Structure 1
Amino acid sequence: MTTQFPPTDLIDSDKSPLADADHDPVRIADALRSSPHITFVAPAAPGDETVRFRDAEGTGYQLSLTTVNPAPEAKRVAYPWDAVAAAIGNHPHFIRTALDQPPFGPLNLNAITAITRTGNEYTLTLTAAHHPGLDQEHAHRAEDIAYAADRLLASNPSDSERATAELLNYMAATWDTQDQPLRKHAQALARALRTQ
């Protein structure tokens, strides 16, 4: 027996649901479904103001979405303590991660409690570590990438070469945020361009 699916229309990039805030409840429901600690998530539709789910113990919850207009000058950054807590908390081996909160006073942003599925509990202490040698090496590599892009742009490039140079310039400008495989690819491309 074959299952027939309705035909899908091509997505119009000007009307893509990915850019539409009405679809955020659907995205939140999808994110909850990927958690091993949540057993049921009610279907959500674009424009919904609530998302309902049940945890592994059968307790039902309702998330209410309230739109907050951010300050126009607010800088959008991912804070390392939030990133660490979210990354570990989303790993299937861990059942809980949270920033340590003292009974009173300011939130401690340098300590994260993590509990494993096997019952081990850890306090993770976040310490900023600056490595002058490593930072200088990263800056040097980014400069090499930017230099290769500049050489390519100065050689009356074709459209594809111009696109390659723009990509290399982007990699150089965002070097600290790129992962290691992308850095290696950018370095290999820069080396190949230098030998031409």
Structure 2
Amino acid sequence: MTAGIPAIDRDKSPLLDADHDAVRIADALRRSPHITFVAPAVPGDESVWFRDADGTGFELSLTTVEPVPDAERVAYSWDAVVAAIGNHPHFIRAALEQPSFGPLNLDTITALTRTGNEYTLKLATSLIPVDDQEPGSPAEDVAYAADRLLTSDPSDSERATAELLNYVAANWDKQDLPLREHAQAVARALRTR
């Protein structure tokens, strides 16, 4: 989490499942054809990390922060994020912030869940090149291998393999040990190709 950004006050949340909203946002982003990788999220996370079709990494922070006036504007990625979250069955709407006067705020989204939680999502651009990022867990390693496969003009069978790896990575804690080990083996084989 970025220093200086206040954490979500979980005691003020009226719902017991508010901790799962980061997982739901990650799930929504995975459904977008314009987003090629979404890092696994677990209940309680306060941010979601993803990469767009151009390979740029972003972090969505589930905290309310002041907009950065000189931040780089990435309208295409925001359109994809708004559409992905807005189309997810758990969310009622997602929209770019619209001040009463002036242009849309392209780095801030408001998302409203069906259970009544409203989040201000702040997008911060990752300054680390994609190839320099090391996965931090076995699930991230599997998801990263799937992401690399999807961006390499895959065949139908390779696309199916990547989608299966992404599913296993997104549901890592629900998978049994043999399936996890097999997914890691497939990910290692894809990296050495």
TM range (shorter): 0.3 to 0.5
Higher relative contact order (CA 8 A, sep 6+): 2
> Which of structures 1 and 2 has the bigger CA Rg?
1
TM-score, normalised by the number of residues in structure 2: 0.33
